[in-house]
Amino acid sequence: MIEIGKMNSLKVLRETEVGLYLGDEEKNDVLLPASFIKEKYKVGQDLEVFVYPDTDGKAIATMSKPYIQINEFAYLRVVSVGEVGAFLDWGIEKDLLVPFNEQKHKLTEDNFYVVFVYLDEVTNRIVASTKIDKFVDNENLELKETEEVDLIVYEESPLGFSCIINGRHKGLIYHNDIYKDVEIGDEMKGFVKTIREDKLIDISFQKSGFKNVLDSTEVVMEYLEKNNGFVNLHDKSTPEEISIRLSMSKATFKKAIGILYRHRKILIKPDGVYLVKEEPEEEKNNI
């Protein structure tokens, strides 16, 4: 079966003046236009191609690999705005349309937007939408708390940043849980902090609980060992200063150094944290 809007592995069936006809095992075929062909291919050769509807709605193939396939989210640039909507660069010869009625806010040329790409069943065209909430599902969750997830940030609100989780669900990173720069379109890892009764999902950049603190102690120790046993961070340091050096929140930093101090791994002084140098084994044995 040839999948529209997807990469397909197809075999060269025959060569014609207009291009190569490619087919699958079910005897379906599609044209790879001559203008898209940059080298010589033999009949019987397997090719990886992207298949999409052309202007007339007929499926054609291209050797170009798009940045995104249907039923996926991506951060794409507007290359032009026309009478029917905005057009995005998505890596192939034909630009991707975002119809005006699928724009949450007016799109402008040269700006980037997070979009969902899908096959419009009415027009049989591949189009995109910036109305992200239409395409995420929090009713059928396949997540558990503390699970590591893939995120795409798509919107900012007074509470924080909304993000797409694993390409399926919607989550929120609260401003007070953010300790590094976050921008619309960022793709990153995160952790499920809380799944609420109303199916809203809170996301954090750090693991919850004691395991996160233990991991953070290793980060602090590694930093100290690589920086002459000192880091000029203390109780009065700002969350931003701690984030820049150690990529963790201030609360996690305080818990981590508390554990290290109780285990006599560090000294805490007004100007910062010092690594406790261990005595050589020979000196220990002579005591």
Q: Which whole number is the average pLDDT over 35-57?
A: 92
Residues 6+ apart with CB under 8 A from 113: 75, 76, 78, 88, 98, 107, 130
Minimal CA–CA distance to 102: which of 53, 123, 57, 184? 123
Q: Mark which of 204, 219, 248 sits at the end of a domain.
A: 204
My answer on whether 58 and 81 are in the same domain is no
d(CA 182, CA 171): 15
pLDDT score of 286 more than 80: no
Q: pLDDT by residue (tens digit) across 52-109?
A: 999 888 999 999 999 999 999 999 999 999 999 999 999 999 999 999 999 999 999 9
Chain centroid offset of residue 41 CA: 36
DSSP string, 11-60: EEEEEETTEEEEE-TTS-EEEEEGGG--S---TT-EEEEEEEE-TTS-EE
**CATH for 157:** 2.40.50.140
Q: Which domain holds residue 249?
A: 210-275
Domain count, the chain: 4
In contact, 91 and 64? CB cutoff 8 Å: yes
My answer on whether 125 and 77 are in the same domain is yes
Q: pLDDT by residue (tens digit) across 117-152?
A: 999 988 889 999 999 999 999 998 989 998 999 999
Minimal CA–CA distance to 69: which of 87, 48, 46, 52? 52
**CATH for 262:** 1.10.10.10
Would 2 be classed as within a structural domain? no
Would 199 be classed as within a structural domain? yes
